Amino acid sequence: MKKVKNKNKKKMMGLAAALGLVTLLAGTFAWVAYEDQRINRVKTAAAGDTVLNENWEDPGEIAPGMAATKEVSVTNTGTAPTFVRISYEEVLTYLKSLGVETPATSGWTVGPDLPVDISVSKVADGAGTPINGYTDITGQMTVPVPAGVKVWGKGESKVNSSSGLREASVDYMIAFAYDSSNPAAVKYQKIDSTVEVDTTGGVPAVGPLNTTWKFTHTPLSYQIYAGGTAMAGFDWTDKNTLLGQNGVRHGVAFDYTLTNFTPALVADTRSAANVTTMVPVANGDIKGIQADDAILGSSLIKVKYGDAMTTTAAMGADKWVYNSDDGFFYFTNTLKGGQTTPDLLKELQYAQGAGDAFKGITYDLVVTMEAVQAESAALHGGSSQWNMDPNQPQTKLVLNQLLTSAGFPAIP
């Protein structure tokens, strides 16, 4: 399994899993909790005390078929009741080649392409020193390899019991050291080449591989991901809270200034066709997100929702309901001082079936919470904070639920 550096143990987790010949490389998920600063400037002090809670149990690595605890709720630490809603922004960093490897004729240098990383942990330690019975055979090539290329091998010459002839074989790994800035953790680029024992002068004497052996190699093919990475953003509400910005939120650094935000994809979760795949309608629903489905062609990143989910048709108090008109999840009751909502999210899941397109991805789910004072004027009307439109059918149902929960009359 390819180990992935964990840059933030509380907020990020690595993905690494061998899927036949497909390996998910250097993938991470980062979840960012954020309370909209623009909303903060106009909230009452009590609303400003409404906070987004997160219980993130970092598994270190997650493989297809695994899940990690990701619980999100909201607490009102003030005294005055508030209305609360949550939505998402997504940012997916992915390989432009969608994981397809391209051969190059020389080792990788800094540029638009990216090297295909390879782990040499089977044959060498972080510094490249041979382990597990392997030896460094780089200098034993009949035709010398270019600078930076390393070859490790373990072999044996023995007599074939059937033919009576000596036969020599080698188990090897060949790679290009493209980053030695940390001598104890050298990074290597994948090379495709066949290495064999050179028997031109005869098969080596019976025994293990030693310094007298010589080896041949086929032309070196240095593997790259052509074009490097791209970044795409998806906003469930069109508000662009963090898209286009950079900074740090709750210990997670982010830079979305290069995000290729595609407005045409914003409404995906508000279309009837996608309700069954992305919008929770029952307790414990497991639903997909926009980014991987739109960019990578598969919906494998999943969110398991909590045990207080409902629909606009069923409604009820103390639930979470998705409004397909505006892209927000609304808590269907006022949140009084000292109270905490049920969990909206429970788990992050990574389903089986990842292909090459999922190599090297980074996925950020920005959880955006907004809270306003529990007043009718804060919800709708020209000067309201949330500007909920009662002329939109789903919005009207949610709006009336919020109004009546706070003792205000419903809109006819």
For residues 234 and 361, state if they share a domain.
Answer: yes
Q: Is residue 345 part of a domain?
A: yes
Residues 294 and 369 in one domain: yes
Phi, psi values for residue 44, rounded to 5°: -75, 165
Do 321 and 379 share a domain, yes or no? yes
Same domain, residue pair 221 and 232: no
Domain count, the chain: 2
Instruction: Identify the burial level of 398 via C-beta atoms within 10 angstroms of its C-beta, where 0-12 means exposed, 13-18 middle and 19 or more buried.
Output: buried
Q: Rounded distance, CA 130 to CA 233, Å?
A: 43
Predicted pLDDT at 41: 16
Determine, yes or no, domain membership for 210: yes
State whether 243 and 371 are in the same domain.
yes
User: pLDDT at position 54, please?
Assistant: 72
Q: Which of 184, 199, 225 is a domain's end point?
A: 225
3-state secondary structure the chain: CCCCCCCCCCCEEEECCEECCEECCCEEEEEEEEECHHHHCCCCHHHHCEEEEEEECCCCEECCCEEEEEEEEEEECCCCCEEEEEEEEEEEEEECCCCCCEEECCCCCCCCCEECECCCCCCECCCCCECCCCEECHHHECCCCCCCEEEEEEEEEEECCCCCCEEEEEEEEEEEEEECCCCCCCEEEEEECCEEECCCCCCCCCEECCCCCCEEECCCEEEEECCCEEEEEEECCCCCCCCCCEEEECCEEEECCCCEECHHHHHHHHCHHHHHHHCCCCCCCEEECHHHHHHHCCCCEEEEECCCEECCCCCCCCCEEEECCCCEEEECCCECCCCECCCCEEEEEECCCCCHHHCCCEEEEEEEEEEEECCHHHHCCCCCCCCCCCCCHHHHHHHHHHHHHCCCCCCC
Q: What is the pTM of this model?
A: 0.79
Note whether residue 45 is domain-resident: yes
Last residue within a domain, chosen from 191, 209, 225 = 225
C-alpha 383: how far from chain center: 39
Inside any domain, residue 7: no
Same-domain status, 384 and 242: yes
The answer to whether residues 92 and 114 belong to one domain is no
> Is there a single domain that holds both residue 268 and residue 387?
yes
Radius of gyration in angstroms for the set of CA atoms belonging to the chain, rounded to a whole number: 28
Same domain for 299 and 217: no
pLDDT tens for each residue of the chain, 412 residues long: 332 233 332 232 222 222 222 222 233 443 333 343 222 212 222 334 667 777 766 655 556 676 777 788 999 988 889 999 999 888 888 999 999 999 999 999 999 999 999 999 999 999 999 999 999 999 999 999 999 999 999 999 999 999 999 999 999 999 999 999 999 999 999 999 999 999 999 999 999 999 999 999 999 999 999 999 998 888 888 777 888 888 887 777 888 887 766 543 444 454 555 567 888 999 999 999 888 888 888 888 889 999 999 999 999 999 999 998 898 999 999 999 999 999 999 987 878 777 888 888 888 888 889 999 899 999 998 888 899 999 999 999 999 999 999 999 999 9
Give me the pLDDT at residue 273, please.
54
- 91 found inside a domain: yes
Do the domain assignments include residue 350?
yes
Candidates 47, 16, 63, 9; CA nearest to 31 is 9
Boundary-marking domain end, from 196, 225, 254: 225
Any domain includes 3: no
Same domain assignment for residues 237 and 360: yes
- For 173, list phi and psi in degrees, rounded to 5: -140, 135
Is 411 within a domain?
no
Supply the range of the domain harboring residue 187: 102-225
Residues 240 and 339 in one domain: yes
Same domain, 245 and 376: yes
